[in-house]
């Protein structure tokens, strides 16, 4: 084989290997949700009483926002989704049927992350 042809084949092979690696990495990232700006917080009501309002307050890119409040019956789960700019903080707030207010600790999330929280008797706890 002539040297220029050998060099051209070596370059083509290198490009093909690089392309295959990129496609494999992009596929893995897509399957795992990496790079997605969406965060999901699952909230389960284990407080033994109905919650009339469950909402999440989150802070990202210097802006504080609050999700719409949902009612949750005992044992019921709701998933809240919101967008973050790479990372953000959040807090779960709940009001039970008798007016008791429950507030969770501040949580930290990154893009594409899924986290879980449970409403318990008298408190909000992380489920993960």
| Domain-wise residue ranges, the chain | 1-32, 38-126
CATH fourth-level superfamily of 38-126? Domain of unknown function DUF5300 (2.60.40.2890)
Q: Which DSSP state fits 127?
A: -
Higher-scoring residue by pLDDT: 34, 127: 127
Q: What is the helix, strand, coil percentage profile of the chain, to 5?
A: 25, 50, 30
**DSSP one-letter string for 9-23:** HHHHHHHHHHHHHHH
Say what the pTM is. Answer: 0.72
Q: Tens of pLDDT along 22-75?
A: 776 666 655 665 667 899 999 999 999 999 999 999 999 999 999 999 999 999
């Amino acid at each position: 084989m002539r040297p220029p042809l050998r060099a051209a084949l070596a370059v083509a092979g290198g490009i093909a290997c690089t392309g295959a690696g990129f496609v494999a990495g992009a596929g893995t990232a897509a399957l795992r949700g990496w790079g997605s700006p969406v965060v999901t917080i699952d909230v389960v009501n284990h407080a033994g009483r109905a919650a009339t309002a469950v909402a999440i307050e989150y802070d990202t890119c210097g802006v504080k926002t609050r999700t719409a409040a949902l009612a949750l019956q005992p044992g019921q789960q709701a998933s809240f989704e919101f967008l973050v700019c790479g990372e953000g903080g959040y807090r779960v707030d709940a009001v039970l049927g008798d007016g008791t207010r429950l507030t969770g600790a501040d949580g930290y999330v990154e893009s594409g992350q899924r986290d879980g929280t449970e409403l318990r008797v008298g408190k909000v706890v992380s489920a993960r």
